[in-house]
Structures are given as structure tokens and as C-alpha cells.
Chains A and B, each alone.
Chain A
Amino acid sequence: MLPIVECRLCHHRCRLDEGERGQCRVRINLDGKLYSLVYGKPCSVHIDPIEKKPLYHVLPASASFSLATAGCNLRCKFCQNWQISQSPPEETENIELPPESVVQEALRNHCRSIAYTYSDPVIFYEYMLDTAKLAKQNGLINIFRTAAFIEEEPLLELCPFIQTASVDLKGITEEYYEKMCAAKLEPVLQAVKIMHRQGVWVELTNLVVPTWNDKEKDIRDLCLWIKENLGPDVPLHFSRFWPMHQLKSLPPTPEKTLTRAREIGLEEGLHYVYVGNIPEHEGNNTYCPKDGKLLIRRIGYSILENNIIDGQCKFCGTHIPGLWA
């Protein structure tokens, strides 16, 4: 009898019989070995402004070579990229792009970073890891854009090669993770702490979904967790929900909810709290936590003013954490 394999990449720990695939749809047991079906086969490749990740404290106004394969280990009801994330690789249009070509194309297009993004890069782990190693050798920054539902061992292997992580912290209760994403909260919190401890620059995004995770208590608890476990300097982005996928009947998040969420974050002592997906909201800008002066003015993904010099506030010299050069 051919052996069963157990995947230990994410906390689903899929146990797979011969020929069976994991929940992510891109890992398969063949002849008692586990294979990735998407190595070097992205289905989405774009050059994005880094602000779109969103990363507001990393190389402002730079271009990021961004890619994803089919598949995902989560099942978020609001997924914006469900056409690729909820499909097996046979149902997406893929291209051959081995790690060397990713790095070459990124350099040729004057990108400063490579972002593993759109679906969840955990499920194309081997492809991401090999690309990230090469990219780092070539002076590029690696961006892990993820829900961080990953086991400790593979994460620790990855950390030395990724300089920044943009993590979706989708909510702050187990119930929310279970019902909305078919995942678990606790492993995500652990993974975020590990990355932070390993020196990866982390920014967090919370998508505020009306009636699901928009209560003041949820938002306050989330901010408190960040402050207590990561400190006040980790940026938090509150992002506007737009009706999508299985949640088309909900309205978009009202602007006042996001404004209030940002106020709560600041009240709880976080230094950098942003509002996303609402152009011209003051929460798009970076302010100095000491003197309150405007440091980076943003509209959409564009930078209109930057008063951070050598990682410091131009006006009072306060150190502003991030990767600025």
C-alpha cells in the first residue's frame, strides 16, 4: 500500500492518500511523495506600486514585481482574487517563469522588490523560497504578502530571505477566522510574532467587514494585541471592504467606521494607523508620532510629499521605523 503523506506547511496539516490534493488545491500526493503543482508557474504577474501591498514604510514610490500562482489555503468569503485563489492550476492561465526569470524581469523593469502576493504565497512556498534566495543575492527586497497561516518550521526557514511581510490580520476572534476564512487565529498570531522577532519588517492589514468584524470591541482588542505583542511602531492599515465573492449582499464599509477604527488605534497608543481604499482620507498619510507633522502625503498609490530623511522626521529628528532606502 502506498503511504499517506501529511503536509506540514500550514496548520490544516492535510493527510493525503495517493493522488489526493490538499485543501489549497496545489499540493498532491503522488507515489507517496508530496509535490507542488505550481513551481515556476504563476498565473498573475504585474508591476505594482509598493503602496498597493499595502506597505507604507518600505521604499516609498518604488515598483514591486508581483506574482501569484493558483490556489490558497484559506477560504475567505470576501476574497478579492477568488478567481485564482479558489482554482486549481489547471483552471488558470499560467506562464513559465522560473525563479531566475522572475529576478531577471524584476531587475529589467527597475523594480526594487519582489512581492509574493494576490493568492497566498504559503501555498507556493518552494517557488517563493527559491526566488527569494536569488532575489536577495541580487539586492532585491522580498515581500511576503500573506495571511500567515503557516507552520513554524517552514516560516523559520523562510525568514532569513524575506525582509518584509504585509500580513492580513483578518480579525481577532477564533470564531471570525473559522466562519469567514475556514482557518484559525492562534497560529496566525504566532506566525506574526515569529516574523517580528526574526527581524522581518511587518505591516498589518485589517479588512473591516460590516456586521462581521466592525464592532468597537473587536477593533480595540486587535489594536491592543498589536501593541502588547509587537509594540506601537508596527503599522496597521484598516482597509475598506468592497462587496465581493460570497459577500456581495453587504454594503461597502462606511467611511466613518474606518475613521473611527483609526481613532481607536491611535487612542490605544499605536503610532502608525492608516485607512486604505479611501482616496484623500487623512489616514492615507504618515504623521510623526512625536510632533504630529505630516511626513508622507499620499493620494491613491502616489506619494506627493515625503519629509522622511534618512529614516528620520525632517522636523524633529524622530526615528521613523521602516525600510526607507
Chain B
Amino acid sequence: MNDRNLSRRRLLKFLAVFFTGLFAIRWQEIIRIFSQKNTRPNLKEAKHYSRSDDMAG
């Protein structure tokens, strides 16, 4: 019985490592997008702010 529990645990562990590995492989795909690295910021007008010339007083 104990032996059986042990091998079941081993199988579960193997499956866990296997599926975690699968995820690791899948995100390799995304590396493709990283071919266009750049550090120049984009400017987009923000929401939710106020200006001193709009404020009362």
C-alpha cells in the first residue's frame, strides 16, 4: 500500500514538472515579438488629471 502511494506521488510529481515545462515551451513563441525592442516612450494623453488653470482660486 505504501509502495503504491509512493509511486502515485512520484507520478503526480512527474506530471507537475512535465506540465510546468510545457508552459515554459509555449512562451518561447512570444520571444518572436521581442525582435523589435526599443526604449523610445510613446506619448498618450492621460485620463484623470486636472490643471492648475482649471482649478478654482
Contact = CB atoms under 8 A, between A and B. Distances in A.
B49 A6 contact: yes
A96 B38 contact: yes
Interface string B2-27: 00000000001101110110010011
Interface of A: 3-9, 27, 30, 32-41, 45-49, 63, 89-97, 105, 109, 125-127, 129, 151, 153-154, 157, 279, 299-302, 304
Nearest to A14: B49
Given A3-B51, A63-B23, A301-B20, A37 B43 contact: yes
A contacts with B: majority SS: mixed
Interface of B: 12-13, 15-17, 19-20, 23, 26-27, 29-30, 33-34, 36-39, 41-55
B contacts with A: majority SS: mixed
A30 B46 CA distance: 11
B23 A48 contact: yes
Interface-central residue, B13, B30, B49, by most chain A CB under 10 Å: B49
B33 A299 contact: no
B51 A4 contact: yes
A109 B33 CA distance: 13
Interface-central residue, B15, B17, B41, B51, by most chain A CB under 10 Å: B41
Contacts of A301: 19-20, 23
21 contacts: A5-B49, A5-B51, A7-B49, A8-B50, A9-B47, A32-B53, A33-B51, A35-B43, A47-B23, A47-B29, A47-B30, A48-B23, A63-B23, A92-B39, A93-B34, A94-B38, A95-B36, A127-B44, A151-B48, A302-B15, A304-B15
